[in-house]
Structure 1
Amino acid sequence: MISAPSTALELSKFPRHVLLEGPTPIQHLSRLSARLGGADIYVKREDLTGLGGGGNKLRKLEFLIGEALARGADTIITVGARQSNHARLTAAAAARVGLQCELVLTRTVPRSDHDYLENGNVLLDALFDARVHDLPGSANALQFAEQRADELRAQGRNVYVCPLGGSSPVGCLGYADCAAEIAAQARAQQLSFDRIVVPNGSGGMHAGLVAGFVALGIESARVAAFTVYGDAAHAHAATLDKANQTLQLIDSALRVPEEAISIDETQLGPGYGIPTDSMRAAVRLLASTEGLLLDPVYSGKAFAGLVENVRTGKYAAGQNVLFVMSGGLPGLFAYRSAF
């Protein structure tokens, strides 16, 4: 079970700019747990972060923005899909600290309706005064970002390029730190979690949590993810690599075993950003029982997997399951027609 660590992680050697207001709460979903009649379900409210509409990417951005500022950057560029939560929060964080921001957004998801192209995160990107480069889905966004960075450097700018989802080893430190936060909250609330469930997109949140638990000496295989981006084999390999790179920053003597990474692809559906019936049902279920809103791309699909596992008895009565609710609320408005 995941409970308290014997020691906290020592991350003070890494540049960091605080963007969160403190620990995000863990809440018991009593009505939903009673409705499903299985495990007790809790949520880690990563959506309750005030900056930029909130969301889990702010944990990564504390370290990414910290590194950018430490290098003297005046501009940050990042990449993502048209409705990227990470891009939106990068723009918000840049506005907070006074960096210029450029977003390289690809039309990865096969949607052409007005809400998807212009509402949701895209609307907020503009309000945060980010410059958006709109690329086709086939484009190499990171290559474009690097070329754009070189153009700006030639003009005398100091540019920091941030990868997809902010999921570099430095960015993943934010979720290693979150692992320690969860363990401390579990101790304070006298809880033990049999399973922690997360969505896996770029894999940074999953990798960071696993790296953090390994560094703390806590069983990391209790973290289970539902991939929302690619197949399980690809997600497993990418997440394991990121977890090990992150752990190397914390303690080079440690390694993440392959079996510590658990990936389920049953909720992916036709692909990234494409709605599924189970996602829609999960979003409606949590909204109608607890008044909480899941996003349609990440948490909606992962929570659908959690609900199915409770209903089938995989997460059984007497167990405590923690869902990391990653935020992404603006995405609901971009997917209005899906509901």
Structure 2
Amino acid sequence: MALSLPEALAKLPRHPLLYSHPSPIHPLPALTSYLNNTPSTPSSKPTPQIRLFAKREDQSSLLACSGNKYRKLEYIVPDILSPQPLYSSYPNNTPHPNPTTQPTAKPTTLVTEGAVQSNHTIQVSSLANHLNLTSLVLLHKGTGGGLTAAHDKTSFLRTGNPQIAHLLGADVRVLEPGSTNGGQIDTVEPVLAELRAAGKTPYWIPSGASLHPLGGVGYARCAFEIAAQEKQLGARFDYIFVACGSGSTVGGLIAGFKMLERMESSSPPQKGNNKPPRKIIGIINSPTKPQTWHEERVLRFARQAGTLIGLEDAAQAITLEEDVHLDGRFAGAAYGVLDEDTKAAMEIAARKEALILDPVYTGKVLRGVMEWVEGGELVGDWEGRVGVAGDGDGEGPLNALFIHTGGQAALAAYADIE
């Protein structure tokens, strides 16, 4: 599918890791019917029907455990393969101050970190194999509460994503609580120094790839992919729900749709163009940090991605009040802990649509979608926005897109939770 990309985005180097066709979007008719049958309070005007769709990022690549990280990594690979990578430095992949003076040394080893059941580490390890490199992953026992909540901790440490990491040949190092780079002990730099001493050249990819300067570009591009699929489906997505973990998936989508809206506004008027802008809602999956921390982080990533794709006034065009919409009500007790409400949402998805979700991210996102629909928040929010924008195209069904970012491999580690 040919995408109408802004010139700056089209020129950014990209190494394809996804299929040549977009990840599919399909309707969720059984779930739509189930949620629309929820009794509503009497109203003087009819409540618009809500139609649910899923974008299957878990079916986007032929590489192991497909998910949202590959879309991010596509724009990082060209730097990895460069004889003088600009963004390989720890901790935040800041550009080398004098890149022309750096020694010519292509990376030999991709290094990253995450929680014990990190999806990101699997996709980085798979990428390393794809590029004929080695990989080293640091798994932190103390990140989140998945390990603490597990009845069988030995199994949690061995099954699911750690098992796949070993199968991929990654050098897997499990670190004790308190050893994260956000804690008292920094374990990453010594590992990088160890690799250099062994004659290897490490390339650092931060957790979720979000702190990498190019981390948000992939999902800015995804916004244009979704828009192209809207035309094929004949359905514009008024609301887009996605997990908010490290933040650059949400931030990239915000930047991409902001740029898309600007391009649409300069095109000849079409049906649907005078609707309120698409609203991206990030469902926060960890209560570790306050919501304001996540909002400021997503805003920063969105502006950074916006600048890279040609949104010249990104710092003014993308604002916290208008563009960053996060919901922290469904994070549960801790990152990686499967609570009963999320489990119930996963069961409904499986039994209504044969849609398998993961316990860390997508289960919580769908729980959020269900609350927004069943509780009337989505319709109430839409009616308020249409009222502000004028009548326009406020009639007809509301279309909500749920982005499935993958992660089902972690289910094996949660087998003791029935």
With the shorter chain as reference, the TM-score category is over 0.9
Deviates more, 1:315-324 or 1:7-16: 7-16
1:308 matched residue in structure 2: 371
Note if contact 1:145-1:161 (Cα within 8 Å) is conserved in structure 2: no
Q: Distance in 2 between matches of 1:31 and 1:9?
A: 40
Identical amino acids, percent of aligned pairs: 34
1:278 matched residue in structure 2: 341
Structure 1 unaligned regions, length at least 5: none
| Pairwise CA distance, 1:13 | 3.6
Aligned residue-pair number = 335
| Pairwise CA distance, 1:181 | 0.5
Asked if residue 48 in structure 1 is aligned to residue 92 in structure 2, the reply is: no
Q: Any residues of structure 2 matched to 1:230-269 within 5 Å, and which?
A: 230=287, 231-251=290-310, 252-255=312-315, 256-259=318-321, 260-269=323-332
Q: Distance in 2 between matches of 1:55 and 1:165?
A: 11
2:200 to 134, 146, 157: 157
1:323 matched residue in structure 2: 402
Asked if residue 333 in structure 1 is aligned to residue 412 in structure 2, the reply is: yes
3-state SS of paired residue (1:170):
coil
3-state SS of paired residue (2:335):
coil
Q: Distance in 1 between matches of 2:300 and 2:229?
A: 28
2:9 matched residue in structure 1: 11
Deviates more, 1:60-69 or 1:143-152: 143-152
Q: Any residues of structure 2 matched to 1:160-309 within 5 Å, and which?
A: 160-167=203-210, 168-217=212-261, 222-230=279-287, 231-251=290-310, 252-255=312-315, 256-259=318-321, 260-309=323-372
2:161 matched residue in structure 1: 121
3-state SS of paired residue (1:327):
coil
Asked if residue 86 in structure 1 is aligned to residue 120 in structure 2, the reply is: yes
Q: Which amino acid aligns with 2:160?
A: G
Q: Distance in 2 between matches of 1:78 and 1:25?
A: 29
Q: Which amino acid aligns with 1:26?
A: I
3-state SS of paired residue (1:296):
coil
Deviates more, 1:216-225 or 1:74-83: 216-225
2:173 matched residue in structure 1: 133
Deviates more, 1:228-237 or 1:108-117: 108-117
Q: If you compute each CA radius of gyration, which structure gives the higher value, 1 or 2?
A: 2
| Pairwise CA distance, 1:248 | 2.1
Task: Assess, with a 3 A threshold, how the Cα gap between structure 1 residues 187 and 14 changes in structure 2: closer, same or farther.
Answer: same
Task: Assess, with a 3 A threshold, how the Cα gap between structure 1 residues 240 and 19 changes in structure 2: closer, same or farther.
Answer: same
For residues 60-80 of structure 1, the C-alpha deviation after alignment (integer angstroms, 9 at most, x for no partner) is 111222321123211110110
3-state SS of paired residue (2:214):
helix
Q: Which amino acid aligns with 2:188?
A: A
For residues 162-208 of structure 1, the C-alpha deviation after alignment (integer angstroms, 9 at most, x for no partner) is 01111123021111111110011112222111100011010111011
Note if contact 2:112-2:137 (Cα within 8 Å) is conserved in structure 1: yes
| Pairwise CA distance, 1:241 | 1.1
TM-score (norm 1): 0.93
Structure 2 unaligned regions, length at least 5: 37-48, 86-105, 263-275, 380-395
Q: Distance in 2 between matches of 1:12 and 1:98?
A: 27
Q: Distance in 1 between matches of 2:411 and 2:236?
A: 32
1:103 matched residue in structure 2: 137
Deviates more, 1:69-78 or 1:27-36: 69-78
